[in-house]
Amino acid sequence: MKTARRQAREIALQALYAWQLSGSDPVEQARSLEGFDKTDPAFVNALASGVRDRAADLQRIIAPHLDREFARLSPIERAILYIGAFELAAHPETPFKVVLNEAIELGKSFGATDGHRFVNGVLEKIAAALRPDEVARSRKIA
């Protein structure tokens, strides 16, 4: 069974996908999606509005870790990376490994065949840049 937070990320992903293609407000889009009522609505709103409001900053965080231009990513990959980078930057209470695992699951569910591997590699580099102490501690334990 999916947690309310996992469902929130899925709803946010769908809303951010639509936002990229149509320019529609992702918060309003999220509220209209089937399953919104089964999520953590405050978290959906935080993700959708946070990515919308900080998209340019998030793109600057993501772009140096890519093997191609940001614009050449699929809208799904962009949305997953936006969500992951936003969580890493703005939600330090969520362990980076949880952020990475959730992004991998989104990639497996919604992305291309091996898209989750690409997303994981990029987000691992972003985590190391944004949360070096947390990443270093996890490597010592492992």
67 and 108 in contact (C-beta within 8 Å)? no
User: DSSP string of 7-18?
Assistant: HHHHHHHHHHHH
Task: Tell me the pLDDT of the chain averaged across its residues.
Answer: 95
pLDDT digits (tens, 9 = 90+) for 32-83: 999 999 999 999 999 999 999 999 999 999 999 999 999 999 999 999 999 9
CATH code (residue 9): 1.10.940.10
pLDDT digits (tens, 9 = 90+) for 80-100: 999 999 999 999 999 999 999
DSSP E strands in 8-61: the ranges are: none
When divided into structural domains, the chain yields a total of 1
Which contiguous run of DSSP H or E holds residue 116?
helix 115-130
CA–CA distance, 90 with 124 (Å, rounded to integer): 16
- For residue 22, give its domain range: 4-141
122 and 66 in contact (C-beta within 8 Å)? yes
**pTM of the predicted protein model:** 0.95
CA–CA distance, 37 with 23 (Å, rounded to integer): 23
